[in-house]
Amino acid sequence: MKAYLGIDAGSVSINFVVIDEAGKVITGLYLRTKGRPIQVIQEGLKKTAELILPDYEVIGVGTTGSGRYLAGVLVGADVVKNEITAHAVAASTMVPEVQTVFEIGGQDSKIIILRNGIVTDFAMNTVCAAGTGSFLDQQAARLNIPIDKFGALALQSTVPVRIAGRCTVFAESDMIHKQQMGHQIPDIISGLSEALVRNYLNNVGKGKEILPPIVFQGGVAANVGIKAAFEKALGMPVIIPKHFDIMGAIGAAQLAQEEVQNKKTNFKGFKIAGLPYHTSSFECDGCSNVCEIVEIYEGDKVIGRWGSRCSKWDIV
C-alpha cells in the first residue's frame, strides 16, 4: 500500500506523520528537538519505520517548519513548503469550512485567514516568545506544575487576576507579584492564559477578520485554559482537531501526495537513520554581504548548503 511521509521540523519539536492514499493518518510522532535536529530526524525516521506496517511503501515526502531545508536535504524531500501553507492545507482537510486558523507552537505563533479554502491573509510572530509553548513550559516548571495539568488548573479559577502579558519578562514578574500578594494559583494561571490570548489577538491577530469556524492547532492547543480564554475573548467556539500537535506534518504529507502524482519520489529511504551526518559553516568573502554558509555532510560528501544570498554555493 502506498503512503506519504510528512516532517515538520521546528525549533522545539520535530513531528513525523505517515498518511495513506485516502489521507488517513497511519502514524504520528511528536519528538522534542532538544537542539539536535539531525539526530532527532534520524531517530524519528527509525521509529516511524518501526510503527508502519511492512505493507506500506512511502512514495512521497514533504517537509515544513523552520528546519524544513535541513530535513528536506536529509531525507530527500519531494516538496519543501513553509508552515503557513502546510498548516492551512491540514486545517482545510480536517475542517473543510475553516475560515481562521490559530497556530501556536514552541517558539512562534501564527494566524491564517482562509476564505473558500484559499489563504487570503496571514501573520506570524517570530520575535517575541510571549504566549508560546516554551514560555508556558517555563512557567509550569517554575510553579512545579506538570505542563499537562497547567491548563486544567486555569479552569478551576473563580476570579482570574489580571496579568501583564505583553512581554514574557513582565508576565513572569507580574505572576510572582500576584503570588506574593496571596492570590490562588488557579486564578493566576487563568489570568496568564487570558493575558496571552489578549497579546496574541492584539499583535498577531491585529487587523484580521476572525470568523468561525476557528481551528486551534500547534502544541499549545493541548492547553485547555488557553482554548477557554480564546472562546471567552472572542465569544465563539474554537475547534481543536484530533491531531492538533502534528498538523504541520500532516499538511506536508498531503502536499507531498499532490507533488508526486505520476512521479518517482526522491525519498532516500529509512536507511538514512543509520548514516553519519554532520554540519559545518563558513563566511563567504566574495562580496560585501559576507553570507554565513551552512553545509551538511553525509559522511565526507556535502549534500546541501544554505544561507547564501546568491547561487554561488548552490549544489546542483
187 found inside a domain: yes
For residues 188 and 126, membership in a common domain is answered with yes
The mean pLDDT value of the chain amounts to: 88
32 with 47, same domain: the answer is yes
Cα dist. 284→296, 305, 311, 312 in Å?
Answer: 16, 12, 12, 10
Q: Are residues 115 and 236 in the same domain?
A: yes
pLDDT (tens digit per residue) in 145-163: 887 787 788 888 878 888 7
Q: In the predicted model, is pLDDT for residue 199 greater than 80?
A: yes
Residues 138 and 221 grouped into a single domain:
yes
Domain membership flag for residue 223: yes
Of 195, 218, 240, the domain-final residue: 240
- pLDDT above 70 covers a percentage of the chain that reads 96
Same domain, 207 and 263: no
Inter-residue contact 227 to 195 (CB < 8 Å): no
Show the domain range for 294: 277-306
Residue-level pLDDT at 129: 63
Look at residue 122 and tell me whether its pLDDT is greater than 90. yes
Say if CB 228 and CB 158 are below 8 A apart: no
CA distances from 62 to 213, 257, 266, 308 (A): 27, 8, 10, 23
CA distance 252 to 249: 5
What cell numbers appear for 134 in the block? Answer: 516554551
Mark whether 212 and 180 lie in a shared domain: yes
Mean predicted confidence (pLDDT) in 123-144: 75
Mean pLDDT of the 179-207 span = 84
Confidence of residue 178 (pLDDT cuts 50, 70, 90): confident
What is the model's pLDDT at position 180? 78
Most confident of 126-130, 177-181, 277-281: 277-281
Pair (200, 66) in one structural domain: no
What's the distance, Cα to Cα, between the start and end of the chain in Å? 33
Report pLDDT digits (tens) over 53-86. Answer: 788 899 999 999 988 988 999 999 999 999 999 9
Binning pLDDT at 50, 70 and 90, where does residue 195 land? confident
Structural domain contains residue 270:
yes
Task: Report CA-CA distances (Å) from 91 to 95, 110, 244, 251.
Answer: 6, 13, 9, 8
Q: What is the mean pLDDT of residues 4-20?
A: 92
For residues 170 and 150, give the distance between their C-alpha atoms in angstroms, rounded to a whole number: 20
For residues 107 and 212, state if they share a domain: yes
* Confidence at 213, pLDDT banded by 50, 70, 90: very high
> Residue 124's pLDDT is what?
87
Range name among 112-116, 173-177, 210-214 with the lowest pLDDT average: 173-177
Residue 18 domain-assigned (yes or no): yes
Q: What is the mean pLDDT of residues 11-18?
A: 90
Residue 51 maps to a domain: yes
Residues 160 and 226 in one domain: yes
Q: Which residue, of 240, 263, 287, is where some domain finishes?
A: 240
CB 165, CB 171: distance < 8 Å: yes
The better pLDDT of the pair 195, 62 is held by 62
What is d(CA 59, CA 266) in angstroms, rounded to the nearest whole number?
9
Q: Choose the weakest-confidence range: 34-48, 62-76, 98-112, 167-181.
A: 167-181
Predicted structure pTM score:
0.86
Judged against a pLDDT cut of 80, whether residue 33 lies above it is answered with yes
The answer to whether residue 314 is domain-embedded is no
Question: Based on the structure, what is the number of domains in the chain?
Answer: 3
What mean pLDDT comes out for the span 206-214?
A: 93
Same domain for 234 and 112, yes or no, is: yes
Position 233 in a domain? yes
Query: The domain spanning residue 13 has which CATH number?
Result: 3.30.420.40
Note whether 17 and 6 are same-domain residues. Answer: yes
d(CA 168, CA 189): 14
Confidence of residue 126 (pLDDT cuts 50, 70, 90): low
**Residues 79 and 116 occupy one common structural domain:** no
Is 285 within a domain? yes
